[in-house]
């Protein structure tokens, strides 16, 4: 793996955090963030009916932290929907949690195709995706394109740039709980975060501009590799 990285003409990365780590293996990079060509034209003027946890609660991976923080912070009269987790049938290792594990009172939602998932996002009050691992940040773009607030990891570029008011270090639990409560109780703040997210997504993460910059960077990388 290290040999492959050292021989690569370039390495794609989605976040500055990943770039800092990969600098140990290469000096040639292209940023390839997630993007979208689907978005609403105007911000929502309503709040959804439930809080959406976009990851199932399983093992030590993303999901468990979000579930616990939401369970501790959300009033019991606000529904919480979360994706169900089904144990792989060909997985021999004993998993820490059984199939379809959930926090008490949370409603499990089965796996959905992308259009159904986006509809689920649009009709939610806000989402929570707190985890200590790193990803491309596609979930942040999905929520931002629909103008729905999302609480997430500040070290993901998309999360930080689309949702500056609801991004935190993954272990800043007090601040995250405070933000969850604020989004539950402050309608104006919730709508403001959503409107700002939609604007930021359109400015920074629409497919035409992302793809255009990617192609320019790719041509430049090819040029310096041929020198």
Say yes or no to pLDDT of 60 above 80.
Answer: no
pLDDT (tens digit, 9 = 90+) per residue, 154-194?
999 999 999 999 999 999 999 999 999 999 999 999 999 99
Residue 115: pLDDT band by 50, 70, 90 thresholds?
A: very high
Phi/psi region, residue 40 (left: phi>0; alpha: psi -120 to 50; beta: rest), is beta
- Which pTM value belongs to this model? 0.89
Q: Name 11's bridge partners.
A: 29
Measured at the alpha carbon of residue 162, what is the angle toward residues 34 and 106, in degrees to the nearest 5? 90
Between 95 and 182, whose confidence is greater? 182
């Amino acid at each position: 793996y290290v040999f492959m990285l050292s021989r690569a003409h370039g390495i794609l990365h989605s976040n500055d955090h990943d770039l800092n780590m990969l600098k140990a293996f290469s000096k040639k990079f292209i940023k390839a963030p997630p993007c979208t060509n689907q978005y609403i034209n105007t911000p929502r003027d309503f709040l959804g009916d439930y809080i959406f946890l976009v990851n199932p609660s399983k093992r030590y991976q993303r999901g468990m932290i979000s579930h616990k923080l939401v369970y501790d912070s959300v009033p019991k009269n606000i529904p919480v929907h979360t994706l169900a987790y089904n144990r792989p049938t060909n997985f021999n290792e004993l998993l820490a949690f059984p199939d379809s594990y959930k926090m008490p009172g949370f409603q499990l939602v089965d796996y959905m195709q992308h259009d159904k998932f986006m509809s689920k996002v649009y009709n939610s009050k806000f989402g929570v995706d707190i985890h200590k691992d790193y990803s491309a940040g596609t979930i942040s773009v999905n929520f931002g394109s629909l103008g729905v607030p999302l609480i997430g990891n500040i070290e993901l570029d998309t999360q930080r740039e689309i949702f500056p008011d609801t991004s935190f270090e993954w272990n800043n639990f007090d601040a995250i709980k405070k933000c969850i409560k604020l989004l539950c109780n402050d309608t104006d703040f919730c709508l403001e975060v959503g409107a700002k997210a939609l604007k930021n997504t359109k400015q920074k993460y629409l497919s035409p501009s992302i793809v255009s910059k990617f192609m320019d960077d790719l041509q430049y990388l090819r040029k310096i590799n041929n020198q």
